[in-house]
Amino acid sequence: MKQPTICPKFEKAISLLSQRWTALVIYQLLSGPQRFNEIQSSIGISGKVLSDRLKDLESQGVIKREVIPDTPVIIEYSLTEKGQSMEPIIRAIENWSQVWYKEETPSSDTP
Amino acid sequence: MKQPTICPKFEKAISLLSQRWTALVIYQLLSGPQRFNEIQSSIGISGKVLSDRLKDLESQGVIKREVIPDTPVIIEYSLTEKGQSMEPIIRAIENWSQVWYKEETPSSDTP
DNA sequence: ACATTAAGTTACTTTATGTAAGTTAGTATA
DNA sequence: TATACTAACTTACATAAAGTAACTTAATGT
């Protein structure tokens, strides 16, 4: 028995953002257009899932895929206006995380 | 080869929010303390996963679980200060969704 | 005594994600 | 000319997360 009374637009946005990696991909592209391998190595996602996500985000109009006929061909992903307009969401998350997560000592320099 | 250069605090926040249902649970609790079944039926989540999420969010200090010794006992979930402070994130998502998703005609009243 | 309700839990199935190897096209190097 | 190399993916297979439905427990209510 499902009777979610939640606004369908909001639900769509939530289901987009609560897919794993989606927010990180968008975050990454906020710093400018990037290529497949750049995104992959900077956020540590598997090629398979990144490929899925990029297709998905492209079909939703959040990012665009551009083929640059260099040799060999370069494929560049960037945010559309729709994607760019998600910046406030990402910044809100970033801001919250700075307030609520305390510094750790992840460095194992001194054993 | 993983070398994510992303701020660990931000990553934590993202991994919290990109778990399915997490944002909707928080959204739901923004309108006040609620009981298990209320949350379940309002967002359409399964009991199993809601149970998981509530434990998770509680252990992360985002929500609190309160046992009210009525008869039978009432269990009420509400946002902590940490949880409450996620409101700007949720509102940013809400706002974006209103701008970027156009009205649909989900009603099948007129075939 | 039997049914009902809230708040879960359990067992099992389906879907999503991860891993690693393979593909394709176009050079670059031996 | 043959072998290597790189970017951008795919594919096949393994593991983890989510969904479904039935079950549990404790305390009523009929």
Q: Mind listing the pLDDT tens digit for each residue in B34-49? A: 999 999 999 999 999 9
Is residue A111 scored above 50 in pLDDT? Answer: no
**Spatial separation of the C-alpha atoms in residues B90 and B27, rounded to whole Å:** 7
DSSP-assigned states of every residue in A1-28: -----S-HHHHHHHHHHTSTTHHHHHHH
What domain range is B89 assigned to?
A: 19-96
**CA A1-B78-A100 angle, 5° bins:** 120
Q: Distance from residue B52 (CA) to nucleotide D30 (C1'), in Å?
A: 36
Residue B5 within any structural domain of the chain: no
Q: Distance from residue A69 (CA) to nucleotide D17 (C1'), in Å?
A: 40
Give the A:B interface size as CB pairs under 8 Å. 123
> Within an 8 Å CB–CB cutoff, is residue B10 touching chain A?
yes
Residue with the two structure tokens 């598997």 = A46
> Exposed/middle/buried for A72, CB within 10 Å: 0-12, 13-18, 19+?
exposed
- Give the chain A residue nearest B86 (alpha carbons): A96
Which pLDDT does position B50 carry in this prediction? 97
Which pLDDT does position B70 carry in this prediction? 81
Residue A34 within any structural domain of the chain: yes
B89 → closest Cβ in A42, A96, A106:
A96
Cβ-based neighbours of A67, under 8 Å, separated by 6 or more? A73, A74, A75
Residue A109 within any structural domain of the chain: no
Is residue A41 scored above 60 in pLDDT? Answer: yes
> Within an 8 Å CB–CB cutoff, is residue B80 touching chain A?
no
The model's confidence at residue A89, banded by pLDDT at 50, 70 and 90, is very high
- The CATH code of the domain that includes B87 is 1.10.10.10
Residue B47 within any structural domain of the chain: yes
- Number of structural domains found in chain A: 1
B65 Cβ contacts chain C strand, under 7 Å? yes
Which pLDDT does position A4 carry in this prediction? 61
Q: What is the pLDDT of residues A54-81, one digit of tens each?
A: 999 999 999 999 999 887 889 999 999 9
Cβ–Cβ < 8 Å for A75, A54: no
> Within an 8 Å CB–CB cutoff, is residue B106 touching chain A?
yes
Which pLDDT does position B4 carry in this prediction? 60
In 10 A of CB B57, how many CB atoms? Answer: 25
Residue A9 within any structural domain of the chain: no
Which pLDDT does position B54 carry in this prediction? 98
Averaged pLDDT in 10-residue chunks for chain B of 111 residues: 73 97 98 96 95 97 93 92 98 98 54 34
Residue A42 within any structural domain of the chain: yes
DSSP state of B18: T
Q: What is the pLDDT of residues A1-30, one digit of tens each?
A: 345 678 999 999 999 999 999 999 999 999
Q: Torsion-angle region of residue B87: left (phi > 0), alpha (psi -120 to 50) or beta? A: alpha
Which pLDDT does position B32 carry in this prediction? 97
| Cβ-defined contact of B13 to A88 (cutoff 8 Å) | no
DSSP state of A32: -
> Within an 8 Å CB–CB cutoff, is residue A30 touching chain B?
no
